[in-house]
Structures are given as C-alpha cells and as structure tokens.
Amino acid sequence: MNSLFSQEVPLSWYLLLSAALFSLGVLGFLIKRNLITVFMSIELMLNGVNLSFVTFAHQWHAVKGQIFVFFVMMVAAAEAAVGLAIIIAIFRARATLAVDRIDLMKL
Amino acid sequence: MHLILFIVFAGFCLGGAINLLLQSHPINSALSLIVVMTSLAVLYLLLGAEFLAAAQVIVYAGAIMVLFTFVVMLLNAGREERTLGSRAARAVGFPAVVAILAVLATVILHAQGLGVATLGEGLTNARGSTNIEELSTVLFTRLLLPFEVTSVLILIAILGAVALARHGDGDPNGKPEANGKLERTAAK
C-alpha cells in the first residue's frame, strides 16, 4: 500500500504510454475508414510524440523539449485547420467521407 | 499519490484511445480524443510542464477538437462502412502495429539512465526561476525567429483554410454557387 502512494513514477512508464498512444494512432490510421477519424488518429500520434518530448524534457531538466512541444502544437493547429478545410472541399466534390471512395490519386 | 494519478490518467488516455478505434461514429471518436487530450494535460502537469498543460487544454482539447466536432456536425458524418479495403488493412495493420509497439517497448525498457518523475519536481530549477519563466526566456530570445515564423505559418494556414473551404471560385457577392444555379434554373 505504501508503494501505491509513492511519489515516484519511472519515466519509462511515461515513455511506454507514449509508445502505446502512438501505436494506437497508427492502428487507427490503418483500420479506420472515415476520413475525419483517420485525421483524428494523426492527432493521436502527434499527442503520443508530444508526451515523450515532455518526458525527456523532464529527464534532462532541459526546457528545449517543452519548446518543441509548443511548436508541434502550433503546427498541429495549422494542420488541423487546413486539413479540415480540405475534408470539407472533398466532401463537397464527392459527397462521401469513406476513404475507399476517395481514390482519385490511386493508380 | 503521483503513482495513483499516473495510473488513473494513463488509464483514461489508453481507454480513450482504444475507444476512438472502437467507435464507428466520428462524433464518439472525437469525444474520446478530447478525453485523451485532457488526460495528457494532467500528465504534463505531473511532469512539471504547467504551461504545456494549459496550452494542451486550450489549443488541443479546446480549439482543434472544437474544429473537429464542428466539421463532423457540418458534414453530418454517419457511421463508417466496412469494406474490403478495411479488412485488408486490418490483416496487415495489426501485426505491423504490434511490431512497432514491441520495438519501441524493447528500446524503452532497455534504455539506461532513465530517471523517475517526482511530483512537484521540475517546476523550479536550481536558479529558482519557474518553468514558465525559463520557457519564455528561451522562446523570446534564442528562438525568436522560429516563433515569429510560426505566426506567419498560422496566417498562411488561415488563408489556405479560407481559400479551400470557400464555396465556388471567387464569387464577388459571396453568394453560394449552388444557390445561384438553383435560382437560374428557377428563372428559366
């Protein structure tokens, strides 16, 4: 019981959580068939990577990792805005969100 | 206490991420993603990154996810359909993802010199300045140029989003083209 209230958590657990989030993002990117959900899986991957950045910033007592996360957040915001605009444009042109039907660039 | 908080919010994170994959309706996936991002903000707090925790809630759980839910609502996205492509993606995807996770876990578990996270550590450094002070000092002195370039990037993203999502090609009145066509056919 005493160990449950311990003040210390190994940083490798945070890194494992980050790896699990990234893998779940990859899995969602592969198996989801809805354009919006695929896009959400990309955001999940970005969040997993951000967690490992923050963990390493904590490990090395360096602020650079946190600044990197800040920039990743800004780029993710820009990416979400442009990506969702593209999704709206695709939906207007093809009236579907299923990735299997959006195959204009497929050979 | 730290361990309990970590287990609870890591559980929320993983549960939300798994729920994102299991749900077939996009709005449920979006709500699970909000759970993931908010729990990640708590984990950032545990790691002593309070500015990033606030930014995570405001930018990710706030702005980006509101954008997602708006688009889901706007496009009236229904349930996703299972197709042949998704079955093939499952057959290839699961082993590939398990392989990625195994490689990452092996590397992490064999890493030497990884420390422990203690609650309240990392908020202050040896000089007594807080984390947010240090962050802003580096951001506004050494990294001022990338910071300003980011603002230009966001401006370009705004312009791109407006240009992409605008209806039709340069209608000066801003009138939707489809309505115009309807009116023209009605006039005939």
Query: Are B29 and A40 within 8 A, CB to CB?
Result: yes
Q: Is the pLDDT of residue A106 over 90?
A: no
**Strand locations in chain B (E):** 116-118
**pLDDT tens-digit readout, A55-103:** 998 888 888 889 999 999 999 999 999 999 999 998 988 888 888 888 8
Query: In terms of residue numbers, what domain contains B170?
Result: 144-188
CATH code of residue B7: 1.20.120.1200
8 Å CB contact between A98 and B83: yes
Mean pLDDT of B74-87: 74
Residue to substitute from A97, A99, A102, interface B, most B β-carbons within 10 A = A97
Query: Are B125 and A50 within 8 A, CB to CB?
Result: no
Q: What is the 3-state secondary structure (H, E, C) of B55-79?
A: HHHHHHHHHHHHHHHHHHHHHCCCC
Query: Are A47 and B49 within 8 A, CB to CB?
Result: no
Query: Are B40 and A80 within 8 A, CB to CB?
Result: no
- pLDDT of amino acid B179: 47
Contacts of B156 in chain A (CB under 8 A): 78
Residue indicated by tokens 């606030």: B54
- pLDDT of amino acid B185: 46
Residues 6+ apart with CB under 8 A from A58: A11, A65, B47, B48, B49, B117, B121, B122
**pLDDT tens-digit readout, B28-51:** 999 999 999 999 999 999 888 889
**pLDDT tens-digit readout, B122-149:** 555 555 667 788 888 888 999 999 999 9
Q: Which domains does chain A have, with CATH numbers?
A: 11-94 (1.10.287.3510)
**Domain membership flag for residue B98:** no
> What domain count does chain B have?
2
Residues 6+ apart with CB under 8 A from A56: A65
Answer whether B6 touches A (CB < 8 Å): yes
Answer whether A106 touches B (CB < 8 Å): no
Instruction: Tell me the two tokens of residue B51.
Output: 């500015």
Mean pLDDT of B70-75: 90
**pLDDT tens-digit readout, A20-65:** 999 999 999 988 888 999 999 999 999 999 999 999 988 888 888 8
